[in-house]
A and B are shown apart, each in its own frame.
Chain A
Amino acid sequence: MKRVLTLAALVLAAGSFTSAASAQIAAKAPDPALVDAYMKSTFGKAPAEWQARIEPDETLKTCNAYHNEVPSAEADKITARELARVVYPGDGKFLGNWKEGAKIANNGRGGQFSDPPDTVAGGNCYACHQMEQKEVSYGTLGPSLTNYGKDRKYDPQEIKNAFTKVYDSQAVFACSNMPRFGVNKVLSEQQIKDIVAFLFDPESPINK
């Protein structure tokens, strides 16, 4: 019993430490106008469309100010704001073609200044996640997604949650390191459906 209490106290203490630390980060940050002047000197000659891409929106401004360690009140604002940006499929269907999804997950092209302008962007999921067991070239910035659908018993609510997550990761987790694929128009609705099928189709190698 005592142990449980100590543990709870520790967790609480850790929590308050984090918010104190993040308040400190926000306080010692340089003036945003100064940072903007630096940005202009380095990226000021880039095409207008490219410059617009690195203009932080309200959500990213908060994440930047707190080095992504947002206090819970700010986190709630972010998830609410981002959830409102998710556009769910008009036909109410979340599952596309897992075979297409597998290709999208493995495709890391798109969005780099070295890419030809007509490059079709992929989801680049393997950069950060383990997915199919047989693919050994995967990154570890995000958790393993192996058996993702099977572990969730192919539950329809979980399927919808996964659509939300891929469309806008921050609708689920404020300041997540995961890109907001739908909101940033990296992936189309159909591509996201295909990815969700890759996660949730019982035939998908993720669940084998």
Chain B
Amino acid sequence: MRKTVIRSAAAAILVLCAGSFGIHAQDASEKEIERYREMISDPMSNPGYLAVDRGEALWGEARGTKNVSLETCNLGLGAGKLEGAFAQLPRYFADADKVMDLEQRLLWCMQNIQGLDTKDVIARRFSGPGRASDMEDLVAYIANKSNGMKIDIPLSHPKEQEMAAVGEALFYRRGGVNDFSCATCHADEGKRIRLQGLPNFSKPGKPAQETMGGWPTYRVSQGALRTMQHRLWDCFRQQRWPVPEYGSDVLTALTSFLQKQAVAGELNVPSIKR
């Protein structure tokens, strides 16, 4: 039953997306998608919640050479404490002496707590047809435990400050055959590329809050739950830059910067987006 509801809702959105040709059609379909979003934030009909369920099972599953679960992994608020942890990431972890986002931290816990060889997990970092992603599922589950909470990343440690400052510099760093940076597409109010609206992240406030409060998200166009790592991978593609290495520092730095612009934004995830 649950699956059928999800399917038909997703299908309805796909039709809406496919129909959005003209600008007016686009506006209308944005409104329709908005309406669907409201309907679909109910866990019974947002397909992203299937990932949440899978993530919950993975979190408790004993794996690796040590054959233990991730349940003692400390995401910043204490071993195994998930409520509110995602709202405060990226942050500095003394045991790794590093600022990490959720995905980097999960890989660290898999390697250090479970003794898991993460090669396969990294190979499946983005799901595809017939290929589930542990990372997407775990992120969906853990991020969901911050719902209703406000983004509030710690910036008191010098390494946290460095991460956000480098993130800002990277946001404006131009390159590639088109001389693009994030700022080319995301530093002005009310702009669009072709027909796609572009949120302005150059200053703190609503566009950043609403955006970051909605990731991870179920992307209807891809039929998959996606994390910020995937969104940035996709934007680097559009930026005509090389493939960014998964779970690496430029991505964490940009995420820190975006989270800083989004402070006080409320999380409601997994959301559902085009």
Asked whether A47 is an interface residue with its Cβ less than 8 Å from the other chain, the reply is: yes
Nearest Cβ on chain A to B19's Cβ, whole angstroms: 14
A-B contact pairs, 30 of them (CB 8 A): A30-B166, A34-B166, A35-B170, A38-B253, A39-B250, A41-B248, A42-B248, A42-B251, A43-B244, A46-B243, A64-B169, A64-B174, A111-B176, A112-B238, A112-B240, A113-B236, A113-B241, A113-B243, A121-B177, A126-B194, A137-B21, A138-B194, A139-B194, A141-B188, A141-B191, A141-B193, A141-B198, A179-B180, A186-B177, A186-B178
Q: Mark B169-200, 1 if CB is under 8 A from A, else 0.
A: 11011111111110111001011111110100
Chain B positions near chain A (C-beta within 8 angstroms): 21-23, 162, 165-166, 169-170, 172-181, 183-185, 188, 190-196, 198, 236-238, 240-245, 248-251, 253
Nearest Cβ on chain B to A14's Cβ, whole angstroms: 17
Chain A residues with Cβ below 8 Å from B251 are 42
Chain B residues with Cβ below 8 Å from A28 are 165
**Contact at B177–A41, with CB atoms within 8 Å?**
no
Chain A residues with Cβ below 8 Å from B243 are 46, 113
Nearest Cβ on chain B to A59's Cβ, whole angstroms: 9
Q: Which of chain A's residues 157-208 have a Cβ closer than 8 Å to chain B?
A: 177, 179-180, 184-186
CA of A68 to CA of B193 in the docked complex: distance in angstroms? 19
CA of A56 to CA of B180 in the docked complex: distance in angstroms? 11
Nearest Cβ on chain B to A147's Cβ, whole angstroms: 19
**Contact at B166–A35, with CB atoms within 8 Å?**
yes
Extra contacts, 11 of them, besides A68-B172, A111-B176, A139-B192 (Cβ < 8 A), are A35-B166, A38-B249, A39-B250, A47-B242, A53-B177, A68-B183, A111-B240, A113-B236, A113-B242, A139-B195, A185-B177
**Contact at A41–B249, with CB atoms within 8 Å?**
yes
Nearest Cβ on chain A to B45's Cβ, whole angstroms: 31
Nearest Cβ on chain B to A149's Cβ, whole angstroms: 23
**Contact at A30–B165, with CB atoms within 8 Å?**
yes
Contacts known (A34-B166, A180-B179, A184-B178); A42 close to B245, Cβ less than 8 A: yes
